[in-house]
A and B are shown apart, each in its own frame.
Chain A
Amino acid sequence: MMDLLTQPVGVAHYLVVGAILFASGVVCMAAKRNALGVLMGIELVLNGANLNFVAFGSSYLAPGGQSTIGLDGQLMAMFVIVLAAAEAAVALAIALCYYNSHASIDVDRANELKG
Chain B
Amino acid sequence: MVLKDVLPILLATAWLLPLASFALIVFFGPRMGKAGRGAGLLATGTIITGFVLSATALVCWISEYPPQQPELHAAAQGDQGHQAAADPGSQGHGLPAEAAAEPHEADAEAAHPPGEAHAQPEPITYYWYSLGEFGSLQVAVSFYIDSLTIAMFCMVTLIASCIHVYSMGYMHEELEDVTDPLVTLSSGRAFTRRGRYYRFFQYLSLFCFSMLGLVIAGNIAMVFVFWELVGICSYLLIGFYIERKSASNAANKAFIVNRVGDFGMIIGLMAVWTGLGTFSFGDYQDQQDVEQPGIFSQVRMAREAAAEHGGLPVPQGMIELPTEAEIEQLALAAETPEKAEENIEAELDRRQRRGYWLLMIAGLGIFCGCVGKSAQFPLHVWLPDAMEGPTPVSALIHAATMVAAGVYLVGRFYPVFTPEVLLVIACVGCITLFMAATIAITATDIKRVLAYSTVSQLGYMMLALGVGGWVAGLFHLFTHAIFKALLFLCSGSVIHACHTNEMPQMGGLLKKMPWTAGTMLVGCLTISGAGIPLIVGLSGYYSKDYILAQALSFQQANPQFGWIFFYAAAIGAAITACYMFRMWYMTFVGPPRDEHVHQHAHESPKLMYVPLVILAFFAVVGGWNLWLPGMDLGIEPLLEQARPAVTAEGASIPAVTYPAEHISHTDHAIHYGATWIAFTAALIGFLFATVFYGVRKLDPEDARRTFAPIHHFLLNKWWFDELYWLVVVRPALLISGWIAAVDKRGIDWLADNSARVVAAVSRLDDWIDRTFVDALIDLIAAGTHAVGLKLRVVQTGNLRQYVMLIAVGTVALFVLISLYWNYAMAG
| Residues of A in contact with B (beta carbons under 8 Å apart) | 26, 29-33, 38, 41, 107-108, 110-115
Contact = CB atoms under 8 A, between A and B. Distances in A.
A113 B793 CA distance: 11
A29 B797 contact: no
When A and B form their complex, which 6 residue pairs have the shortest distance between CB atoms, in order from nearest?
A111-B797, A115-B792, A114-B797, A115-B795, A107-B799, A29-B803
Nearest to A108: B798
B793 A108 contact: no
Nearest to A42: B803
A30 B798 CA distance: 10
B800 A30 contact: yes
Residues of B contacting A: mostly: helix
User: Could you say which of B794, B795, B800, B804 has the most chain A C-beta atoms within 10 Å of its C-beta?
Assistant: B800
B797 A33 contact: no
B800 A112 contact: no
23 contacts: A26-B803, A26-B807, A29-B800, A29-B807, A30-B800, A30-B807, A32-B800, A38-B800, A41-B803, A107-B799, A108-B800, A110-B797, A110-B799, A111-B797, A111-B798, A112-B797, A113-B795, A113-B797, A114-B796, A114-B798, A115-B792, A115-B793, A115-B796
B788 to A, nearest CB: 9
Interface in B168-220: none
Interface of B: 791-800, 803-804, 807
B792 to A, nearest CB: 3
Given A26-B803, A111-B798, 19 more contacts: A26-B807, A29-B800, A29-B803, A30-B803, A30-B807, A32-B800, A33-B800, A38-B803, A41-B803, A107-B799, A108-B798, A108-B800, A110-B797, A111-B797, A114-B795, A114-B797, A115-B791, A115-B795, A115-B796
Contacts of A108: 798-800
Contacts of B798: 108, 111, 114
Contacts of B793: 115
B346 to A, nearest CB: 109
A78 B111 CA distance: 117
A33 B795 CA distance: 18
B800 A107 contact: yes
Counting chain A CB atoms within 10 Å of each CB, which of B794, B795, B798, B799 scores highest?
B799
Contacts of A26: 803, 807
A30 B799 CA distance: 8
A38 B797 CA distance: 15
Contacts of A41: 803
Contacts of A107: 799-800
Contacts of A111: 796-798
Contacts of A32: 800
Nearest to A29: B803
Contacts of B803: 26, 29-30, 38, 41
A32 B792 CA distance: 25
Contacts of B794: 115
